[in-house]
């Protein structure tokens, strides 16, 4: 199966730039071709601004909530996107895979063309790019293997995982983390809803990470929300089985010459009468901080970072970060929702920023160089 692609998006009449494959608004994905827009997913239009413009700039597609698929072998790929328009300003958002945020509302002015490069972790044989925005443009896309990219593996629960599109704006912070990373890093988000540090291992999910991890990769570990649950499959005791289980992640990463990073559980949205955040994680936070000290493991104290942020915003403003909606506000939640644990996309972006800020503060090399700060 081919691993490198160069696509020129636009109109058939404009032809394809040399060395590129033409993709028009009518190029629908089918397994034989191995690339194209997903039928029924949004709308796609095409425009040609005329022969005076350079080959890749004269024409483009306007993908409105549209999804472009390319069949590729599993692995890490660098995607380079060109977006712009000779005569008007544009705004484009790009997500990859299961809603991982790569480019957020990037604007270009008339005559300006922006190039964005990012790395995508592919595990199902399909590289998926979803486009949206007020006035999105796609002029060209190049896809090439990036096997040397650092992989940032995520192990965690529903506050971290890639939430499916049918639940939007329900979002995990790991889903938004790529926005804060350069193309040298690919995020491999293995976090899953409802899992504890114990059940993540017993269900075989950690083994999937071990099978793909290479030296100099990183493993971010956030568990605690579900370790608190009473059922035998998930429950751990903070100062015994919780620490013992987390040590399996630490030792496994180190044995593969990768870097483990512990992440204290992000806070829930519960306030007391004075507007102070009520901690619901208790000894699990203390135990993880102790373990980081004992094992010499870098610690992202997301519990403390998120506490400060949520208290600064207060009870009302934090509703914008969490999955709060009135009936009819979002088509995926017609009856409304009041969720004090899980994030709205805006919250996922903000919490992901806290994680990226913390990684910068830790000074981990080479990861620190790959952060967009």
DSSP state at residue 364: -
In whole angstroms, what is the distance from residue 313 CA to residue 267 CA?
14
**How far is the C-alpha of 179 from the C-alpha of 59, rounded, in Å?**
27
106 is catalytic: no
Q: What is the DSSP string of 282-349?
A: THHHHHHHHHHHHHT--EE-HHHHHHHHHHHHHHHHGGGTEEEE-TTSBTTBTT-EEEEEEEPHHHHH
N-term to C-term CA, the chain = 37
Angle, helices 205-212 vs 243-255, to 10°: value is 20
Instruction: Respond yes or no: is residue 116 known to be catalytic.
Output: no
Q: Determine which one of 106, 281, 333, 342 is catalytic.
A: 342
Element (H, E) at 210: helix 205-212
CB neighbours (10 Å) of residue 177? 26
Question: Taking the CA of residue 113 as centre, how many other CA atoms within 13 Å lie in the half-sphere pointing to its CB?
Answer: 16
Active site residue 342: yes
Phi, psi of 243 (to 5 degrees): -65, -40
Distances (CA, A) of 164 to 72, 97, 102, 167, 189: 21, 10, 16, 6, 13
How far apart are the C-alpha atoms of 323 and 353, rounded to whole Å? Answer: 18
Distance CA 95, CA 84 (A): 18
| Number of neighbouring beta carbons within 10 Å of residue 341 | 16
Q: Which candidate in 119, 142, 158, 344 is catalytic? A: 158
CB 156 within 8 A of CB 223: yes
Report the half-sphere exposure of 9 (CA within 13 A, side-chain side).
25
Q: Tell me the three state secondary structure of residue 200.
A: helix
Catalytically annotated residues:
158, 338, 342
């Amino acid at each position: 199966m081919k691993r490198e692609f160069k696509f020129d998006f636009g109109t058939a009449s404009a032809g394809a730039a040399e060395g590129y494959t033409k993709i028009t608004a009518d190029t629908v994905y089918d397994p034989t071709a191995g690339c194209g827009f997903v039928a029924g997913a949004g709308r796609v239009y095409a425009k040609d601004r005329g022969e005076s413009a350079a080959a890749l700039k004269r024409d483009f597609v306007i993908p409105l909530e549209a999804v472009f698929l390319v069949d590729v072998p599993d692995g890490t790929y660098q995607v380079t996107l060109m977006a712009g328009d000779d005569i008007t300003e544009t705004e484009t958002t790009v997500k990859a895979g299961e809603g991982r945020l790569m480019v957020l509302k990037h604007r270009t002015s008339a005559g300006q063309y922006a190039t964005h490069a990012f790395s995508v972790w592919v595990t199902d044989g399909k590289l998926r790019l979803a486009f949206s925005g007020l006035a999105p443009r796609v002029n060209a896309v190049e896809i090439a293997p990036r096997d040397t990219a650092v992989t940032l593996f995520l192990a965690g629960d529903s506050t971290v995982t890639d939430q499916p599109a049918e639940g939007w704006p329900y979002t995990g912070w790991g889903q938004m983390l790529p926005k804060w990373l350069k193309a040298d890093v690919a995020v491999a988000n293995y976090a899953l809803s409802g899992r504890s540090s114990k059940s993540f291992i017993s269900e075989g999910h950690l083994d999937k990470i071990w099978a793909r991890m290479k030296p100099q990769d990183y493993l971010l570990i956030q568990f605690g929300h579900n370790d608190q649950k009473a059922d035998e499959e998930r429950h751990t005791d903070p100062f015994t089985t919780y620490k013992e289980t987390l040590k399996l992640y630490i030792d496994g990463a180190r044995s593969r010459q990768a870097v483990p990073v512990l992440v204290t559980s992000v806070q829930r949205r519960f306030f007391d009468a004075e507007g102070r955040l009520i901690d619901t994680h208790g000894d699990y936070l203390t135990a993880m901080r102790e373990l980081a000290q004992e094992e010499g493991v870098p610690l992202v104290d997301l519990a403390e970072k998120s506490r400060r942020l949520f208290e600064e915003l207060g009870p009302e403003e934090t509703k914008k970060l969490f999955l709060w909606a009135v009936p009819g506000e979002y088509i995926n939640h017609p009856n409304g929702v009041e969720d004090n644990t899980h994030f709205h996309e805006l919250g996922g972006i903000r919490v992901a920023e806290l994680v990226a800020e913390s990684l910068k503060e830790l000074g981990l090399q080479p990861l620190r160089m790959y952060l967009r700060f």
